[in-house]
Structure 1
């Protein structure tokens, strides 16, 4: 079972700094999200194969641990452990769920967000790379935002 509260607590604890137990990346958004998912009880699988599974171990990691597009693909295809179900609307999401951003609308995911608060039905998110705390989920204030942006909404679970 996915512990949403623990994932959000982790996200709020580390939103503006880096947990020294993990590597730090220039583009750190998915590494940070993966740490949040791990804190929420998601089990790592697939080591040492970097192209399969979701894991970090001994100074190396899977692509899905650190790359937005790979994490989205992993969540969509995983049948056990950490899984994600893509839904049509942000209104279907809860605390601890994820939003993936495709800034250019070209099908390649560029950024990953975790929902850390919901105020009057509106989700707010945390993220790394440009560290963000309880930011409006649409990201319209981002310098990377374009009118072509596409959002991918994922409900997270552990099976």
Structure 2
């Protein structure tokens, strides 16, 4: 579910037009074209499909073996930690890569190791982009070769892969003026916040068993959590999956936000849908990037952080590469500044010890949604 390239100034788009001429004409070559390299990253020129711009993600120049060597202590720490959680360590699996990125949030007494772990998580955020870029290019290439696939169908096929395309929520100092009162439309923000606070260090497998069953854990044990290693109250076993978005979706639903399910062939893959099902939830329910794709359209992205309040959801892109990595919910406010907006989230399970200001760091991008404004 990934990423983006924002270097659109002074870029010549690579045009890919689905041909209608005879099959005797030469097939167009669809591939990535390197635009520039900077530090350890490679940036690629966007594609243009019949006038629609398709952005590609930046990729790391480091190989897997180079990264394991460069971040050896971080890799060993994460390998041991995931093994302790019963998670298979497969460098190229999506599940492993998603879990590695959660270590952006780890805090250790050993600050040197902590920084190396954060750097390794950033590497992984860019490492996974190659496979996603290749899939985007392959899908477009196959559609061109078939000569019978409509442009809108191609865009639909790759929409879940494309990078964030909206402006992020700016961190601003609150004004002296009072924020306007919002009348929720069947959404009780306090109910959502209460649910999140009640379940912050537990997993509601009774009502939402899909992920526990998928990852081979008990669907009747609601006490599974993912507290940092060595923390008091850490469950055994620990939760085996990245649960941040599933957790926030549960809170929003328990606040009264209506689910959406339409379509027959592949409703789970439609970003317009947002629902839970024991057989298979929508991708937008449990995937951080898919959640962003749904709510950036359904709620819109808040222009500034000062308008966000209790019960509002927030997406985080740790490296600013266009891929959303994390989802949190605001459960307490003491004002409208980001250091007064306290959040609750899973993986690592955290309740009101962090504020939005903790995510406005470095190149990270924050996308907030005023859930109580959804009609």
Q: Give the TM-score taking structure 1 as reference length.
A: 0.87
CA distance in 1, matches of 2:351, 2:295: 24
Q: Which residue of 2 aligns with 1:131?
A: 349
CA distance in 2, matches of 1:118, 1:93: 9
Q: Is 1:22 equivalent to 2:228 in the alignment? A: no
1:146, distance to aligned residue in structure 2 (A): 6.0
Alignment of 1:22-61 (within 5 A): 22-23=208-209, 24=212, 26-46=241-261, 49-52=267-270, 53-61=273-281
Alignment of 1:1-159 (within 5 A): 1=185, 2-20=187-205, 21-23=207-209, 24=212, 26-46=241-261, 49-52=267-270, 53-78=273-298, 84-121=299-336, 122-134=340-352, 135-139=354-358, 147-157=362-372, 158-159=374-375
Could you list the structure 1 runs, at least 4 aligned residues long, displaced by more than 3 angstroms after superposition: none
**Structure of higher CA gyration radius:** 2
1:138, distance to aligned residue in structure 2 (A): 2.8
Asked if the contact 2:208–2:278 (Cα under 8 Å) also holds between the matched residues in 1, the reply is no
The C-alpha deviation readout for 1:112-154, integer Å capped at 9, x for no partner, is: 11000012431000000100101212335xxxx9611111121
Q: Which runs of 5+ in 2 are unaligned?
A: 1-184, 213-239
Root mean square deviation of aligned Cα? 1.8
CA distance in 1, matches of 2:362, 2:304: 18
Q: How many residues align?
A: 150
Asked if the contact 1:85–1:156 (Cα under 8 Å) also holds between the matched residues in 2, the reply is no
CA distance in 2, matches of 1:58, 1:133: 27
Q: Which residue of 2 aligns with 1:81?
A: none
1:88, distance to aligned residue in structure 2 (A): 1.8
Q: Which runs of 5+ in 1 are unaligned?
A: 79-83
When structure 1 is superposed on structure 2, of 122-131 and 84-93 the one drifting more is 84-93
SS in 1 for 2:358: coil
CA distance in 1, matches of 2:361, 2:307: 24
Asked if the contact 1:86–1:152 (Cα under 8 Å) also holds between the matched residues in 2, the reply is yes
Asked if the contact 1:99–1:114 (Cα under 8 Å) also holds between the matched residues in 2, the reply is yes
The C-alpha deviation readout for 1:6-33, integer Å capped at 9, x for no partner, is: 1011011001111122134610000000
Asked if the contact 2:268–2:283 (Cα under 8 Å) also holds between the matched residues in 1, the reply is yes
Which structure's residues are more often helix, by fraction?
2
SS in 2 for 1:101: strand
Which structure has the higher relative contact order (CA within 8 Å, separation 6+)? 1
